């Protein structure tokens, strides 16, 4: 098996293993087994589990679909479409395994500096994308101008992550859409 192929297989399968087990419980062996590569090959491609995890977080962030935020129509509708898309994404990968970013945010204390920075960058980029849509909604008089757009974006993102954490604990995602709807109503001018 060519080396590049092994690295790609590791990256491809690690996301699922990390989401299912979290950073700490996922072993290098779990990841190499899921990828179907020899355990010894791991360290030819990554210096550590931390190293791979930081790359997986960045990859998850790059794969986040922000297109709804930049679409047509009222800003609140665009935010609603975007957040609904994220709810669907989490459902597709298993509600009981939560959001990969949320899982790594929770594991951050023990996962180390590189993983923590990768999570912070991903959260910042995500909040930044929503901030721009919220600022447009404020300029259009559709969203309350009583609060800075960045604060409202962080509020929406944290509500989604908190509701997704509950869904992970209960195995039931049904309250998340209602909670997002309450949060979006709070932004209305």
Interface residue list for a second copy (CB under 8 A): 20-22, 24-25, 96-98, 102-103, 105-110, 116, 119-120, 123, 147, 151-152, 154-155, 157-163, 165-166, 168-170, 175, 178-179, 182-183, 185-186
Work out how close the CB of 50 gets to a second copy at its nearest, in angstroms, rounded to a whole number: 13
Work out how close the CB of 178 gets to a second copy at its nearest, in angstroms, rounded to a whole number: 6
Q: How far is CA 58 from the centre of its chain?
A: 10
- For a second copy, the closer CB: 45 or 112: 112
Work out how close the CB of 108 gets to a second copy at its nearest, in angstroms, rounded to a whole number: 5
Written as six digits, the tokens of 168 are 């992970």
- For a second copy, the closer CB: 45 or 154: 154
- For a second copy, the closer CB: 48 or 175: 175
Tell me the HSE value of 70 on the side-chain side, using a 13 A CA sphere: 5
Work out how close the CB of 27 gets to a second copy at its nearest, in angstroms, rounded to a whole number: 11
- For a second copy, the closer CB: 55 or 161: 161
Which residues are registered as beta bridge partners of 143? 188
Work out how close the CB of 131 gets to a second copy at its nearest, in angstroms, rounded to a whole number: 13
Written as six digits, the tokens of 109 are 């204390």
Q: Helices in 47-148 by DSSP H: which ranges?
A: 49-62, 75-92, 100-111, 113-139
- For a second copy, the closer CB: 35 or 159: 159
Identify whether the C-beta of residue 172 lies closer than 8 Å to the C-beta of residue 94.
no
The residues, ordered by sequence, that sit 6+ positions from 152 with a Cβ below 8 Å of its Cβ are 131, 134, 143, 144, 187
Query: How far is the C-alpha of 119 from the C-alpha of 122, rounded, in Å?
Result: 5
């Amino acid at each position: 098996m060519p080396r590049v192929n092994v690295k790609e297989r590791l990256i491809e399968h690690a996301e699922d293993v990390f989401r299912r087990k979290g950073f700490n419980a996922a072993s290098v062996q779990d990841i190499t087994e899921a990828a179907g590569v020899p355990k010894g090959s791991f360290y030819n491609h990554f210096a550590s589990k931390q190293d791979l995890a930081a790359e997986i977080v960045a990859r998850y962030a790059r794969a986040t679909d922000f297109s709804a935020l930049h679409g047509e129509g009222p800003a609140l509708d665009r935010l609603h479409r975007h957040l609904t898309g994220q709810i669907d994404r989490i459902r597709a990968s298993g509600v009981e395994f939560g959001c990969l970013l949320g899982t790594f945010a929770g594991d951050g204390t023990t996962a180390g500096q590189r993983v923590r920075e990768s999570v912070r960058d991903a959260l910042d980029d995500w909040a930044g994308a929503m901030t721009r849509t919220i600022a447009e909604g404020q300029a259009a008089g559709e969203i309350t101008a009583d609060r800075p757009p960045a604060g409202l974006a962080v509020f929406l993102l944290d509500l989604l992550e908190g509701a997704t954490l509950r869904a992970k604990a209960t195995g039931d995602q049904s309250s998340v859409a209602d909670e997002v709807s309450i949060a979006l109503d709070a932004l209305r001018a």
